[in-house]
Amino acid sequence: MAEKRVYLVRHGETASNRSLRHQARSTPLDARGVRQAALTAHALAALPIDSIITSGATRTQQTALPLLEAVHCPVVNNPFFEELRRPSVAVGKKYLDPRALWAVVRVYLHAIGVRAKHSDEETVSEFRQRAADAIALLASDPAKHLVVFSHRLFISGALAIISGSAEGSTTAFLRAAFRFGRIPNGSITELSYNSARATPWHIERFADTRHLSDA
């Protein structure tokens, strides 16, 4: 089987990133994020891109737009690649706002055995399964060069799975995901996949930001 390449791109910067707020799906890029999107497109446009996948968030779709304009390939909006869904009470609030902080802490408490959801959030178990389903979808996709525009926590969770370090409990998954947590806006993480290898997925480069030097 020919080797597949997958490029995981975190969306460009938003005002909520700068102010450390939990974001809505409709949060747009700021001016720096728009520039990051253009630079990311320039870095990827020379590759033989077969397909582009985005989450449904405005910020990922805006980040994908310059590449779409450059390569004119199929694009799919897929909910598998959404960010971990926080409790809706946290959206728009700063990370350290007491209401938001308690809501998010409940998400992680649930993951380590406290069996009480806060409200309408996605559990860590649900998130892990979704990330695993997304990785399986990428492996089965016939395209040989795919670009996925997604989010920091989703990318870190996906990397935890393909690295093999997320086996077992949800706590192990969280620890593995946190190890991959430093994923800047606009960065590119390149993966290779070959089903003939003992470990089919390899991380070729992680959170590369060299293309953003002018941002």
CATH 3.40.50.1240 intervals, the chain: 4-85+122-212
Q: What is the pTM of this model?
A: 0.95
Q: At what angle do helices 124-140 and 170-179 cross, to 10 degrees?
A: 70
Query: How many Cβ atoms sit within 10 Å of the Cβ of residue 79?
Result: 9
Amino acid at 213: S
Which tokens go with 138? 């990428």
Query: How many Cβ atoms sit within 10 Å of the Cβ of residue 183?
Result: 22
Residues 92-114 pLDDT 10s: 999 999 999 988 888 888 877 66
Query: Mean pLDDT throughout 178-204?
Result: 96
Residues 117-158 pLDDT 10s: 788 999 898 999 999 999 999 999 999 999 999 999 999 999
- Mean pLDDT (the chain) is 93
The answer to whether residues 188 and 7 touch, using CB atoms and an 8 Å cutoff, is yes
Which tokens go with 140? 């089965």
Give, for 192, the enclosing helix (H) or strand (E).
Answer: strand 188-193
The answer to whether residues 4 and 194 touch, using CB atoms and an 8 Å cutoff, is yes
Decide yes or no: CATH 3.40.50.1240 for domain 4-85+122-212: yes
Percentage of the residues of the chain whose pLDDT score is greater than 90: 81
